[in-house]
């Protein structure tokens, strides 16, 4: 078995939140690459977006060797369709399409700027992933709601910096 086909155990976070217990190293690599391609559709992956990716991938259990490769990936020339075809996990009913779109929206918004180019890349990814328009819209609204809940939590717990 080549290194890229090596199966990597998922983190407790991924087991609890997605029901996934393992995935090939290739899936971790290509998942991150796909997120970079979508978030970088406006010509740049900002520091905040890249930090979101690194933190997220560590939380889900991506090996450091995969995370290191994100730093040199040429996302501007990436073939999103090719990347998507290489993402597999140990759960047959997992919705790769919806999950990837959800994370792409979160990453693209990490720098507090969800540019028109990023929104268009998310829509293109939704089409490639065969995610229906209403589901894509709902995923955007879910991220809106989660951001609002985070702001509310910070306010209630007095950790929000007031202007």
Tens of pLDDT, residue by residue over 77-96, are: 898 889 988 888 888 888 88
Got the DSSP string for 80-120? HHHHHTT---S-TT--HHHHHHHHHHHHHTTTS---HHHHH
**Structural domains present in the chain:** 3-156 (1.10.3680.10)
Specify the pTM: 0.87
Give the whole-angstrom CA distance, residue 92 versus residue 29: 19
> Which residues of the chain fall short of a pLDDT of 70?
1-4, 160-163
């Amino acid at each position: 078995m080549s290194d890229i086909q090596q199966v990597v155990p998922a983190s407790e976070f991924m087991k609890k939140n997605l029901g996934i217990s393992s995935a090939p190293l290739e899936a971790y690599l290509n998942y991150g690459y796909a997120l970079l391609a979508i978030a970088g559709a406006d010509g740049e992956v900002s520091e905040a977006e890249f930090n979101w990716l690194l933190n997220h991938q560590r939380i889900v259990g991506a090996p450091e060797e995969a995370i290191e490769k994100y730093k040199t990936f040429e996302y501007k020339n990436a073939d999103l369709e090719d990347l998507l075809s290489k993402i597999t996990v140990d759960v047959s009913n997992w919705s790769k399409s919806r999950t990837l779109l959800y994370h792409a929206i979160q990453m693209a918004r990490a720098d507090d700027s969800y540019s028109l180019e990023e929104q268009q890349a998310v829509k293109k990814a939704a089409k490639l992933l065969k995610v229906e328009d209403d589901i894509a819209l709902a995923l955007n609204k879910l991220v809106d709601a989660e951001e609002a809940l985070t702001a509310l939590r910070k306010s209630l717990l007095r950790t929000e910096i007031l202007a």
